[in-house]
Chain A
């Protein structure tokens, strides 16, 4: 499983390669496929750069009269995007950090120690991650209403309508996947390492925090990238758990742009792209981690 991460990022290019017709055909096919894959996004970019006056008269399938970034500025302002980005990050970052922290603790426990419920625990976490989210919505909402929290955390006095509530359900749900992946990874760490530390008198917590976690950095990085995308893209939890429009994360706030009273598809396209921007940036910057994360759960065994 670790192999995927440590593998050189690009195959070594051999110099003696010659272009054969088969290769050319392969490239042509791949280029075409890539273009088709990117087409919807490019189309959205094209639409976002045009004005409402232009497209309402000429239709979308026409040569643009002029290209402008005005839609982006307008979406940014009308959608109050900075505010909603902040909301999203207030949810995403704590949820991400705590998910990784909690699941690494469980993974450490189940992979480095043997106890009665070892496997059961791991199975519960893994299965929990695979449940359809809708299954738990109603009881969760009721449960949240019963749990009292101080008002400085949530103005409602309960977990309803609070960012904490959304963070908690992300942690609970996502820790399943992370525990599974991390425990697989930790099993590959030679146990002599922790044994040596133990002989030196290191506590369990030290073995976890100072020994195991640093070794897990590649997998933590991969999971962080992946979880960032997943939590960022969440649509359902905020829809169900948040009541205050001002607390909505940016993906749900996108609906505001698609208001019931004026539809401007160019504006929506610009807004959509702006909302997608953070995940696209993360994707481009941390591409290797992202790929690593996706393949982590799969290539073991």
Chain B
């Protein structure tokens, strides 16, 4: 047996529970234990202090009325009033929820399909494949704020590229018309997201065992059949990652609408409502925090199953 607590390479699913092995930690030399504690402790403190404690703070503040001025003694605690107001009165809330959902649906459908298609097309011996890939995922490295700037050059009603190319008699107000501006912005967001999805699927496709495909081909399956019956199901882990990445991206969406018109007039998003309420000239910290908590709850609805999926598998291997 080893004195150190090195993790054995493979632990059987029914292996000893961590608690029992934990006892043997005494086997580590004193200094090593201390070093290890510091190595784990410092990052954990930083992470907890600046990410999780503020998160808890937001939850607490969501039950308050506070204009952000003065100390904590100025905070008035009002229970769930903020939530009631948000759900019943706040005129921008439900539109924001709707826009976030549209955002999510759009990102789940368009960039995912486009990314998957491009990945499938590029996952073969193909001349210039790398050049194509580079071009397709280049938008990834640009910030969303910058993308907001660049796409406004395309969308401006007077003299923008799109209206000029379309050459309509009556220019379309891509950014100002609240019936279409969300989709106009979504195209810009999808423009950036597609390359990412393509890359994830490319990696996934390369990881698929070629013998599976060969076996399917021998059974007389067409290429399409092989893809949907063999390849796609095997890529389940990638599909999950794509789903999580997309959901988080959709919930976090902020920079691009904020740069374009501060998230007003058809571009309201939950993240914008949080920002508007907590920073800005007249803060309503309580209401902003309550929207943040709603956003948090939705996010956790995705994060927790994902963690469960990822780490329960880990325990088994």
Chain A interface residues (CB < 8 Å from chain B):
3-4, 7, 9-14, 17, 26-27, 29-31, 33-34, 37-38, 40-41, 43-44, 47, 55, 59-61, 102-103, 105-106, 108-116, 118-119, 121-128, 130-140, 142-143, 168-169, 171-173, 175-176, 179, 190-191, 194-195, 198, 203-205, 208, 229, 232-236, 239-240, 251, 254, 258, 265, 268-269, 272, 275-276, 279-280, 282-284, 287, 290-291, 294-295, 297-301
The binding surface of chain A is classed by DSSP as helix
> By the criterion CB–CB under 8 Å, are B207 and A299 in contact?
yes
Task: Give the residue of B18, B128, B138, B237 whose beta carbon is less than 8 angstroms from that of A116.
Answer: B18
Let me know if B224 is at the binding interface, CB within 8 A: no
Q: Could you list 4 further interchain pairs (A-B, Cβ under 8 angstroms) beyond the known A60-B160, A114-B22, A276-B143?
A: A17-B127, A37-B194, A232-B143, A272-B146
With A and B bound together, what is the CA distance between A106 and B145 in angstroms? 32
Q: What are some 28 contacts across the A-B interface (CB < 8 A)?
A: A3-B206, A11-B124, A11-B126, A12-B125, A13-B125, A17-B125, A30-B132, A37-B136, A40-B188, A113-B36, A127-B300, A132-B296, A135-B292, A136-B50, A138-B57, A138-B289, A139-B54, A139-B55, A191-B6, A205-B32, A236-B255, A254-B145, A276-B146, A283-B141, A294-B196, A295-B202, A298-B242, A301-B314
> By the criterion CB–CB under 8 Å, are B311 and A122 in contact?
yes
Closest B residue by C-beta to A284: B134
> By the criterion CB–CB under 8 Å, are B43 and A105 in contact?
yes
With A and B bound together, what is the CA distance between A55 and B33 in angstroms? 68
With A and B bound together, what is the CA distance between A135 and B279 in angstroms? 12
Task: Give the residue of B22, B61, B251 whose beta carbon is less than 8 angstroms from that of A138.
Answer: B61
> By the criterion CB–CB under 8 Å, are A130 and B248 in contact?
yes
Let me know if B113 is at the binding interface, CB within 8 A: no
- Do A194 and B6 contact each other (CB < 8 Å), given the known contacts A109-B40, A132-B271, A229-B141? yes
With A and B bound together, what is the CA distance between A258 and B145 in angstroms? 12
Chain B interface residues (CB < 8 Å from chain A):
2, 4-9, 18-19, 21-22, 25, 28-29, 31-32, 35-36, 39-40, 42-44, 46-58, 61, 68, 118, 121-122, 124-146, 149-151, 153-154, 156, 158-161, 164-165, 188, 191, 194-196, 199-200, 202-204, 206-207, 237-238, 241-242, 244, 248, 251-252, 254-255, 258-259, 271, 274-275, 278-279, 285, 288-289, 292-293, 295-296, 299-300, 302-304, 306-307, 310-311, 313-315, 317
With A and B bound together, what is the CA distance between A292 and B139 in angstroms? 17
> By the criterion CB–CB under 8 Å, are B28 and A175 in contact?
no
With A and B bound together, what is the CA distance between A109 and B161 in angstroms? 53
With A and B bound together, what is the CA distance between A75 and B25 in angstroms? 60
> By the criterion CB–CB under 8 Å, are A26 and B126 in contact?
yes
Task: Give the residue of A3, A60, A275 whose beta carbon is less than 8 angstroms from that of B164.
Answer: A60
> By the criterion CB–CB under 8 Å, are B143 and A233 in contact?
yes
> By the criterion CB–CB under 8 Å, are A134 and B292 in contact?
yes
Chain A residues closer than 8 Å to B127, beta-carbon distance? 13, 17, 27
> By the criterion CB–CB under 8 Å, are B153 and A287 in contact?
no
Whole-angstrom distance between the Cβ of A35 and the nearest chain B Cβ: 8
Task: Give the residue of B47, B274, B314 whose beta carbon is less than 8 angstroms from that of A176.
Answer: B47
With A and B bound together, what is the CA distance between A61 and B274 in angstroms? 38
Whole-angstrom distance between the Cβ of B60 and the nearest chain A Cβ: 8
> By the criterion CB–CB under 8 Å, are A4 and B51 in contact?
no
With A and B bound together, what is the CA distance between A251 and B237 in angstroms? 34
Whole-angstrom distance between the Cβ of B141 and the nearest chain A Cβ: 4
Chain A residues closer than 8 Å to B202, beta-carbon distance? 295
> By the criterion CB–CB under 8 Å, are B22 and A130 in contact?
no
> By the criterion CB–CB under 8 Å, are A11 and B196 in contact?
no
With A and B bound together, what is the CA distance between A29 and B128 in angstroms? 13
